Structure 1
Amino acid sequence: MRNLRFNWLRVFVSLIICVPCFCSAQGNDVEINAKYHPTSRYVPPMDSSSRIGSSRQVEFTLSSHISLYKKIDTTTGKVKLLNGAFFGKKTPFSNSGYNKQILPDDLYSISAGISYYASINKTWAYTLFLNSALNTDFISVDYNDLFLTGGIQFIRQFSPRFRLGFGAIIHNNLGKPMFWPALSVYWNFGRRFNVDIRVPDEGNGLAYTIGVGYQYNDHFKLGFAFKPYTISYDVERKNEINNRLMNYWQLPFELSGTYTRGHFGYTATIGFTALRSFAYAEKDIKNMFTKYPYHSLSTNLIFGAGIKYRF
C-alpha cells in the first residue's frame, strides 16, 4: 500500500531547494524514452541454493531542459548560462517463479535540477551543478528516499574540435557525503566522427557515457556507447536490514540511430546488458566496504525508442 500520510509539500520544497541533476543543456527540449529488457533469468548470490525465477524489465524516462538565463559579453566574449532540468523514470518489473520477493514490482526516480556555466577566458570555463532525487518504490516514503548530488567541473578548450573537463562530485548515497571524480572529453576528428566521454552524465542516479558517434549527414547520426550507471533506491523489504537501501548496477552497450527533422528528433536503440546487479545494503558509510550478497539478472538484449522536441 502506498504511504498516503507522507508530506508531499516537504518533498517538493526539498527538491526545489536541493536542486538536482547535472545539466549542461543550452536550449529548451522535452524527451520521452522507453527501453525494453526481455525476460531474463535470475542469477542468485553464490551462497544461495535458489535457482528459480525470471524478470522482464521496462524503463520509461521523461526529461526536460530549460534555459533560465543566458548572457554573452560582446566585449570580452565571456558566457554565462543558467539551466534547469527535470528527470522522471519509472521501472516496472514483471517477476515470476520466485519463492520470495527479490525485486520490487516498481521503482521510481524523480529529480529536478539546475546548473551554472561560466567562461573564465578564451580557453577555460567551469560549470557548477546540484542534484536532488527521490528514488523510491512509493510504499514507505521518508527522507531516506532523498538522494543528493552536486559538484564542479573545469573545462579546457584546446581547439574547436577538442575539449577536456575535470572536477569532482559529492553525493550521499550511503547517508554521508562522499566524493567522486568527474571527467568529460569531447573530440571531433575526421569529417564526421567524434568521441564523447561524460563522467557523470546527466540522468537518474550516477550515469556514465563512453561513446563514439558518426554524423552521416545533417539529419542522421549513429552512435555506439558504453553507458554504465548505478542508482540507489530506498525500498520496503520485509525481514531485511533496517535501512532498505537497494544499490542497482547496469552495464549496457548500445547502438543507436537518431533522425532529426525540424524541431523533432527520433531515436532507435538496440544493444545488450553485460550486467544487471543489485544488492540490499545499509545506508551508512561505515558499511561502505561490507560485502552484501549480490543478486543479478542474466545478460540480455535491449530495445529502445525515443522522441525529442526542441523549442
Structure 2
Amino acid sequence: MSWQKIRHLKQYNPMQKTAIFYFLFSKVYKLTRFVYFLMWFVYFEKSVFPTLIPLVRNKFKFSVMKYYVWVIVAVLSITAYQKVTAQIVLKTEYIAPSNFLDENGNQVGEGKGDLKSISGGLQIPVSVKMNELNQPTAWAVALKGTYVSMNNKNLSTDYCLNEVLNAQLAVIHTRPLSERWSLIAMLGGGVYTDLSEFSGKCILGQGGALFIRKMNPNLDLGGGAAINNVLGYPMAFFALYLDWHKNGKFDFNISMTTTFEISASMQVKENLRLRLIGEANGVSAVVNKDGKSKIFVQQYSTIGLQPEFKLAKYLTARITGGVSVSREAYFQDRTIKAFYGDTPDEYPHFNIAPYFAVAIKYGL
C-alpha cells in the first residue's frame, strides 16, 4: 500500500477501503507515538535536567575538572566507539547573541555575545588484529581540534575570552580481556589556549585507561582513571564510560563517550534519519589572570532537531537547529581547593539563545 494508490477512494471495494483505512491509521499512530516521545523529551530537558544539575553539582563537586576528564574519555573512546575504523569529522556551530549574567542571575551591564566554532577530528588505525570472537586488538592515532570565536560586546575579557583553541593528539590502544571485558588505554597531549596569550603552560599531558564491560547487546558500561596535569602536576581522576542504545522503528541513545549525548531518532526515508538530540560540549584555556595561572572554561548544552542525510556509502551530513539552554563561562584557579571546594549553584553564563550546527562525517 502506498500514498499514490489511495488518491481515488471511490474506485475501491469495501475490503480495499478497509485496508486503506488501516494504512492511514497506522501512519497516524506511528507519527503520534513519535510526537509524544518528543514532548516527553522536551519536558525532561526543560524540567528534570535543571533540577538535577544543581543537585549533582552540590553532591559530586561538579567542576571544571569534569571537562578535562571528558576530553580524555572522548579520546579513549574514539577507537571503541567507532569500531576501529578510519574516520574524518568536520563540524561548525553557531549560538546566537544573548545577554551575559553573573552567578546570581543578574545581567552584567549591557554585555552580550555569541559563539562560532569549527572543529575537526581524524582517526587513523595503525594496526588491527581480530581474534576468534571478532574482537579487535588495535593501535590508532587520534587528532582533534576546535577553534571557538566569541563576538562579545560590552563585555570585558575578565568575564569571557574572545578566542580559544583546543587541540589534542593521542595514541590509543584497545584489546579484549575476555568475552565481555575490554581495555582501552591512551597517552597523548593537548594545547588549550587563548589565542592572544600562548605559553608553555597551555600544553597539558593526558593519559588514562578504561575497563569496559558489555552488559548486554545494547549497553556498554565501564570505568577507569584519567590522568592529566591541569593543576600543574599529574593527578588521577575517576572516569566513567556509558553507551546505551535501543534500536527499532525509533532508536534511542544515551552516551557518555565522545560527548554527553541523549537522542531519539526515526528513519524517515532510506537516506534520511530525523533525530531529536541533546548534547553537552565545551572548550577551555590556560590563562594568566590577576598574576595567577587559571583555567577558563566555556561549557554549553544544546537541544534540537537534527536531520541526517546519507550522501554516499561512507558519507553523511547532519544539520541541527535548536536552542542553547545553558552556556557557562568562568575562570577557576588551578588548585585542589578550587577544584574540590564549594561549588556554586550557578556559574556566570549567557542566556538561552538559538543554536545551529552543520556536521559532515566520512568513515570507512
Give the TM bin, normalised by the shorter chain: 0.7 to 0.9
Aligned to 1:107: 164
Aligned to 2:218: 162
Match 2:141 to one of 55, 79, 84: 84
Aligned to 2:210: 153
Q: Is it true that 1:258 corresponds to 2:308 in the alignment?
A: yes
Contact 2:99 2:107 (8 Å CA) reproduced: no
Match 1:181 to one of 219, 225, 239: 239
Alignment of 1:187-198 (within 5 A): 187-198=245-256
1:169–1:217 distance in 2 versus 1, CA, 3 Å: farther
Alignment of 1:215-294 (within 5 A): 215-237=267-289, 240-260=290-310, 261-288=312-339, 289=341, 294=347
> How far did 1:197 drift?
1.6
Match 2:351 to one of 292, 298, 305: 298
Helix, strand or coil: the match of 2:110?
Answer: coil
1:83–1:63 distance in 2 versus 1, CA, 3 Å: same
**2: CA distance, partners of 1:92 / 1:214:** 34
Helix, strand or coil: the match of 1:96?
Answer: coil
- 1:85 partner amino acid: A
Instruction: Could you tell me which runs of 5 or more consecutive residues in structure 2 were left unpaired when the two chains were aligned.
Output: 1-71
Contact 1:243 1:281 (8 Å CA) reproduced: no
Contact 1:78 1:120 (8 Å CA) reproduced: no
Contact 1:255 1:271 (8 Å CA) reproduced: yes
Q: Is it true that 1:135 corresponds to 2:198 in the alignment?
A: no
> How far did 1:287 drift?
2.3
1:213–1:85 distance in 2 versus 1, CA, 3 Å: farther
**2: CA distance, partners of 1:27 / 1:64:** 10
> How far did 1:299 drift?
0.8
Aligned residues: CA RMSD: 2.8
1:199-237 Cα deviation digits (max 9, x unpaired): xx33xxxx4223334344553323333322354311354
Higher strand share: 1
Aligned to 1:21: 75
Number of residue pairs matched by the alignment: 283
**2: CA distance, partners of 1:309 / 1:229:** 21
**2: CA distance, partners of 1:66 / 1:224:** 30
**2: CA distance, partners of 1:94 / 1:223:** 30
Instruction: Could you tell me which runs of 5 or more consecutive residues in structure 1 were left unpaired when the two chains were aligned.
Output: 1-17
**2: CA distance, partners of 1:89 / 1:169:** 24
Helix, strand or coil: the match of 2:204?
Answer: strand
| Moved segments of 4+, more than 6 Å | none
**2: CA distance, partners of 1:59 / 1:163:** 32
1:223-260 Cα deviation digits (max 9, x unpaired): 333322354311354xx351132122222223322111
1:148–1:229 distance in 2 versus 1, CA, 3 Å: farther
Contact 1:133 1:146 (8 Å CA) reproduced: yes
1:140–1:213 distance in 2 versus 1, CA, 3 Å: same
> How far did 1:117 drift?
1.9
Contact 2:188 2:205 (8 Å CA) reproduced: yes
- 1:135 partner amino acid: Y
Aligned to 1:43: 101
1:58-98 Cα deviation digits (max 9, x unpaired): 01111111111110134x54421222211111101111123
> How far did 1:109 drift?
0.5
**1: CA distance, partners of 2:108 / 2:178:** 60
> How far did 1:102 drift?
2.9
Aligned to 2:40: none
Higher helix share: 2
**1: CA distance, partners of 2:361 / 2:163:** 25
Identity over aligned residues, as a percent? 14
1:244–1:141 distance in 2 versus 1, CA, 3 Å: same
**2: CA distance, partners of 1:291 / 1:124:** 36
1:70–1:49 distance in 2 versus 1, CA, 3 Å: closer
1:41–1:284 distance in 2 versus 1, CA, 3 Å: same
Output the TM-score relative to the length of structure 2: 0.69
- 2:200 partner amino acid: Y
Structure of higher CA gyration radius: 2
1:153–1:98 distance in 2 versus 1, CA, 3 Å: closer
Helix, strand or coil: the match of 2:155?
Answer: coil
